[in-house]
Amino acid sequence: MTLYLASKNPGALSSSKKNWTKFKSHPLAYASIVFLLLLGFCALFIPILSPYTYYDINLSIKNQPPSLQHWFGTDDLGRDLFTRTWNGARISLFVGIAAAAIDLVLGMLWGGIAALAGGKVDEMMMRLADILSAIPSLLMIIALMVVIGPGLHTIIIALSLFGWITMARVVRGQLLQIKHNGYVIAAKALGASFWRILFKHLLPNSLGPIIVTLTLTIPSAIFTEAFLSYLGLGVQAPIASWGTMASEGLPAMEYYPWRLFFPSGLICLTMLAFNTIGDSLSNMFDS
Amino acid sequence: MALLIIRKLFYACLSLVVVMTFTFLLMKMIPGDPFQQEQALPSEIHQALRSHYGLNDSFLKQYGRYLKQATTFNFGSSLVHKGQSVSQIIRTSFPNSALLGGEALALSIPLGLLFGIAAALKPKKAQGSLITCLAVLGISVPSFILATLLQYILGIKLGLFPIARWGSMMHSFLPALSLGFMPMAFIARLTRTKMIEELHQGYVTTARAKGIPEISIIAFHALRNILSPLFSFLGPLTASILTGSFIVEKIFSIPGLGYWFVSSVLNRDYPLIMGITVFYCAILLLTSLIADIACLFVNPRLTAAALQEREKS
Amino acid sequence: MRILLFIPLIFIIAVSLGCSKDSTPSQNSPSSNQITIATSDDPLSLDPRLVRDLATATVMRMLFEGLMRTNSKGILEPACAQEVAISEDQTIFTFILRPCMWSDGTAVTAEDFAETWKSALKPDFPAPNAYQFYLIKGAKDAKEGRAPPDQIGIKAESPNTLVVELEQPAPYFLELVACHFYFPVNRTMRLSNEPITGNIIGNGPFKYENWQHRHEFSVVKNPDYWDAKSIQIDKIILQVLEEHTALQLFKIGQIDWTGSPLNTLPQDAIEILKEQNILKVAPGAGTHWFRFNTERLPFTNQKMRQAFSLALDRHAIVEHVTQGNQSPATGILPPSLEIDNQQYYEDHDLGKANMLFSEALDELGFSRDQMTPITLHYTANDRSHKIAQAVQQQWNTLSNVPITLESGESKVTYDRLNRKDYQICLGSWYADILDPINFLEIFKDKDNPTNQTSWQNETYARLLDQSSKETNPQKRLQLFNAAERILIEEMPIAPLFYASFNYLKKESLENVYFSPLGYLDFKEAYWQPHAMEK
């Protein structure tokens, strides 16, 4: 973690204590962390504690609006939406965070190396990224499903295969621009190695765009997973993620709006929370 | 500079061949063929159909045929939509997607930049926070939910725009908005983050001290520096928007290329898959090329550096 | 910055381009005698020899006409043929053509029919429906290259006389002749090597007008049609629309028909539409069922298959899941075939189901705890997801037997069925002709491509063979009943429900024939002038 405390003015390491206070003083960031913890707590415990399960079908009470017995209402097969939503939270959060983590690592490495190495290496790496984007992703994902079999692990691999490219491009774009800054040249002159420059100077100063891209990756992963599930390429019924529930709730929006509202509302709130934390983190490193 | 461009073009062609090869291998790997349905055909008829369309030829022969077809961009007829040739399909659907995509970009890029700059100027106050909040919502609400909501509220309930289909400016506004909202939000966020950084830089303080108006500083100095990561993102974004978002086109029933992208894979319509892949790849490489070149132009430091590196290698 | 200036410029260009493509949406009102229908895709081909899907079949019926057709009352009647003479032994059919014209002014001759059918039977012509001609003498041999085309029992003895000789009597041959694969194709089209698209020459009640791909396809009344005076509709427009959008457009009156057979209705809306009393239902000659792989445990055992079938609560599925007025099916032959539906067993007979289940386990020699999860495969779509989940719960009542669901992309699932790599799979069959043989012959041979259950039965096959030679309709029906009984007893498939087509149409549009086979016929349709649309 100390690597990332490098700032715009290298050599003057800000004290972590000062930054942490700065972070805490921003009330929204604080609230976001609390919210996320609450979210995680609910996702873990509510499916266990709830009197209903996420898969018990009761056709006679289908499509009920929110009530005292069913806080979020019921879906088209009479299942309790409250329990299903928190069960879905597990899937969505897991998929979102896993995909984001892989995208982050792959993207930063790829974009970073390409930008810093420059010249032919850069050319080659970016062309490879372009090639990967050009291959029809649906084709690739079906092939994956056939070879590996359906399931959560396959979805994560499928999402990671393509998600890192945007991150790599953004990182490369950013690094191309700052690699000619004074302090980088100075570091080079002082004999710093490739990796040191990358990890100590360049990447920490790109944290802003990286975090912004990351907050794009998570909902993108969630909804791509929903799209794939719809095509029969994702997690199997009756398990459903937020994305799947939102997609299923959408056609019924006119008649049973709660089926859309709760899953997508939660996705938005979660993203807001991640964003606020991300912004604060980025502020923390910026000054 | 010309040599640079030629070299990039060479790599682009190489990439195209690699993409075609991968796509061909994947196509052959996944089960199913265009004629397979639940109400199955007698096996002799099925095999006869496969032979007629060359699907029983050896891999090498089929691969060679596709490569040859790619040079003239003539992949023959679709195997499922009989009577429509691949070129015709792309020729009639691409302009619709391009127009839609163009409008989406025309909306999202300037507005995204504008909002991002506005948010950066007053980051802590209501202006900044509100814009950031909306931008986050824009990223978290996927295009299909937004499209349906817009269609429902503005099209059906309020009757301000046609609900669906294609043909006039009014028809394209809602889909363009749905398609462009996410990129707009992303661009706004990116711009804001970068702009805040830039505004703290030394040269900005100097410029302000010299009495240069704020707009000038932003437009002519700060903006340049943030365009680099933006362009890297814009290249493939343009390619994917221009070739159509499957979901937005589906919701608004727009005859664009997006539908063909997905349905050709689901139908195993091999010639169409190859044709569209080659086409998309060409566009992607072209926009990447343009974005890279634009990057170099925008930031003269990069041009100088790039030229230096060419000389070195 | 110069680049920023470019962007509003692009915007302005886009705007002006957009404006120049202005086109007014089609007007329709009852007085303009025009029908606008929502469809989910373009017609897949304009050559009737190449058409396999239901939606395009409807388009074929607008543009072409065969020797026979089914009228709006569901009765088979001569169309392009004026009369049909059938020989004593029911193997020779002589069609006398009435004077009718192609839309290019030339006459439709017997040779048109003969040559079209023979062209589909050429070994290298990619006609997917060629096997539907195999009843005709010499057809199969010609298609497989073993005999020359002049050996085929189709002869145009004069410009208006067509004689067809069958391999053996087939009482349903005339029904086949009414199908779109027996439609004629004009000489110019037959001889040209170009794929048929746009401006085609047809002999049907309507003729081609315009086609904007994946947007709109339109036909107008054909004044040269032999019965043009009966046609009261001037124009039919097919608009490619997604199902929800189509529903919205129907509600505001811009579309006259949405839903089956050219499109679908959103599954979630069906209940509401039923409550609002606007949902229309047409019976379909189709059955939805579960296939069991009789060569894979535990479904090698007949009692196990029966147990699973009896444990299904079809009424609940039909009432709460599919909701489109389908009827629960305990047999395989749908009611639209107009034969007596026998009740072979009780739906949702849990007592008997559990008994059979334990007996099956005994016969198989393992206990319930030793059972590995059984996988239900199905093609991913809205309705199937719901059916699968509901059924999973229903089968759990069999001593909590573990069921896993595996939805697949459609081609992947069909491939699985083909390779018989499954345990249970959700599926269906929609008939080509309204004759029980069309359903029952699927299971005659375990290698039949649509069977896929690896089940066959000697007595069953023998009964079907006998029925092919039986000329007395009553006796034939009895043979079918006996065959169906064997099928249900051995249960290689567990029937779920009989198909019904759900659609919406404007009230004042009358007399559109919705065949149980799943196509629409507009020849006799008209707008009721006095009824006011709300």
CB of A180 within 8 Å of any CB in chain B?
Answer: yes
Of C19, C214, C415, the CB nearest to B36: C415
Q: Do C268 and A233 touch (CB under 8 A)?
A: no
Q: Does residue C195 register a pLDDT over 80?
A: no
Contact residues, chain B, for A275 at CB < 8 Å = 132, 136
**Measured distance between the N- and C-terminal CA atoms of chain C, rounded to whole angstroms:** 57
Of C405, C410, C413, the CB nearest to A236: C405
Task: Report DSSP letters for chain B, one per residue.
Answer: -HHHHHHHHHHHHHHHHHHHHHHHHHHHHSS--TT--SSPPPHHHHHHHHHHTTTTS-HHHHHHHHHHHHHHT---B-SSSTT-BHHHHHHHHHHHHHHHHHHHHHHHHHHHHHHHHHHHHSSSSHHHHHHHHHHHHHHHS-HHHHHHHHIIIIIIIS--S-SS--SSHHHHHHHHHHHHHHHHHHHHHHHHHHHHHHHTSHHHHHHHHTT--HHHIIIIIIHHHHHHHHHHHHHHHHHHHHT--HHHHHHTT---HHHHHHHHHHHT-HHHHHHHHHHHHHHHHHHHHHHHHHHHHH-HHHHHHHHHHHHH-
**CB contact at 8 A, A94 and A152:** yes
Chains near A with 3+ CB pairs less than 8 A apart are B, C
Please tell me the CATH superfamily of domain C2-230+506-527, with its number: Dipeptide-binding Protein; Domain 1 (3.90.76.10)
Least confident residue range of A210-224, B207-221, C16-30, C472-486: C16-30
Distance CA C409, CA A236 (A): 12
Pick the residue with more confidence: B9 or C225? C225
Distance CA B309, CA B290 (A): 20
The nearest alpha carbon in chain B to C286 belongs to B39
In a domain, A253, yes or no: yes
Contact residues, chain C, for B155 at CB < 8 Å = 248
State the CATH class of domain B86-312. Answer: mainly alpha
Q: Do C244 and A59 touch (CB under 8 A)?
A: no
Domain that holds residue A127: 91-287
The nearest alpha carbon in chain C to B29 belongs to C412
* CATH label of the domain that carries residue A187: 1.10.3720.10
In a domain, A217, yes or no: yes
d(CA B170, nearest CA chain A) in Å: 24
Pick the residue with more confidence: B202 or A80? A80
pLDDT per residue as tens digits for the range C440-451: 999 999 888 889
User: What pLDDT score was predicted for residue C397?
Assistant: 85
d(CA C416, nearest CA chain B) in Å: 9
Kindly indicate the confidence band of residue C427, based on its pLDDT and cuts at 50, 70 and 90: very high
Chains near B with 3+ CB pairs less than 8 A apart are A, C
- Per the structure, how many domains does chain A have? 1
User: What pLDDT score was predicted for residue B230?
Assistant: 74
Q: Is the ipTM of this complex over 0.90?
A: no
User: What pLDDT score was predicted for residue B243?
Assistant: 62
Looking at every residue in chain C, the average pLDDT score rounds to: 88
Of A236, A235, A145, whose CA–CA distance to C403 is shortest?
A: A236
Please state the rounded mean pLDDT for residues C272-291.
Answer: 93
* pTM greater than the 0.90 cutoff: no
Kindly indicate the confidence band of residue C29, based on its pLDDT and cuts at 50, 70 and 90: very low
CA atoms within 13 A on the CB side of B4: 16
In a domain, A35, yes or no: no
User: Token digits for B75?
Assistant: 């992949």
- Tell me the domain boundaries of chain B: 86-312
Of B176, B218, B179, whose CA–CA distance to B195 is shortest?
A: B218
Distance CA C203, CA C105 (A): 10
Q: Do B99 and C249 touch (CB under 8 A)?
A: no
d(CA C406, nearest CA chain A) in Å: 6
CB of C273 within 8 Å of any CB in chain A?
Answer: no
User: Token digits for C515?
Assistant: 């065949």
Pairing of strands C374-379, C403-408: parallel
Distance CA A276, CA B157 (A): 34
Cα–Cα distances in angstroms (integers) from residue A83 to residues A49, A87, A240, B19, C284, in the given order: 9, 6, 11, 44, 39
Give the long-range contacts of residues C459-464, CB within 8 A, separation 24 or more: C459/C486, C460/C486, C460/C487, C464/C437, C464/C440
In a domain, A56, yes or no: no
Q: Does residue B231 register a pLDDT over 50?
A: yes
- Tell me the domain boundaries of chain C: 2-230+506-527, 283-500
Contacts of B47 (CB under 8 A, 6+ apart): B56
Local structure of C512: helix, strand or coil: coil
Full pLDDT tens readout for chain A, 287 residues: 333 333 344 434 444 555 566 555 567 778 888 998 999 999 989 888 888 888 888 888 889 899 888 899 999 899 999 999 999 999 888 988 898 899 999 988 898 888 888 778 888 888 888 888 888 888 888 888 888 877 788 888 888 888 888 888 888 888 877 777 777 788 778 887 877 777 777 777 777 778 878 877 888 888 788 778 777 777 887 888 888 888 888 888 888 999 999 998 888 888 888 878 877 777 766 54
Q: Which residues partner with C429 through β-bridges? A: C287
Distance CA C184, CA C119 (A): 11
State the CATH class of domain C283-500. Answer: alpha beta
Identify from A123, A133, A161, A220 which residue to disrupt to test chain B contact, counting B C-beta atoms within 10 A and taking the largest count. Answer: A133
Q: Which amino acid is at C224?
A: D
Q: How far is CA C117 from the centre of its chain?
A: 21
**CB contact at 8 A, B194 and B231:** no
In a domain, A121, yes or no: yes
Distance CA C154, CA C92 (A): 10
Taking each helix axis from N to C end, the angle separating B300-312 and B2-29, rounded to the nearest 10 degrees, works out to: 80
pLDDT per residue as tens digits for the range C306-352: 999 999 999 999 999 999 899 999 889 998 887 776 778 888 889 99
Least confident residue range of B187-201, B209-223, B263-277, B295-309: B295-309
Q: Do A250 and B148 touch (CB under 8 A)?
A: yes
Q: Does residue C497 register a pLDDT over 90?
A: yes
Contact residues, chain C, for A230 at CB < 8 Å = 380
User: What pLDDT score was predicted for residue C394?
Assistant: 92
User: What pLDDT score was predicted for residue A5?
Assistant: 33
Q: Does residue B114 register a pLDDT over 70?
A: yes
User: What pLDDT score was predicted for residue B310?
Assistant: 54
CB of C46 within 8 Å of any CB in chain B?
Answer: yes
Q: Does residue B291 register a pLDDT over 90?
A: no
Of A284, A273, A156, whose CA–CA distance to A215 is shortest?
A: A273
pLDDT per residue as tens digits for the range C73-95: 889 999 999 999 999 888 999 99
Least confident residue range of B11-15, B50-54, C403-407, C484-488: B11-15
Q: Which residues partner with C166 through β-bridges? A: C136
Q: Do C411 and B31 touch (CB under 8 A)?
A: yes
Q: Do B31 and C415 touch (CB under 8 A)?
A: yes
Q: Do B299 and A216 touch (CB under 8 A)?
A: no
User: What pLDDT score was predicted for residue A206?
Assistant: 76
Q: Do C404 and A77 touch (CB under 8 A)?
A: no
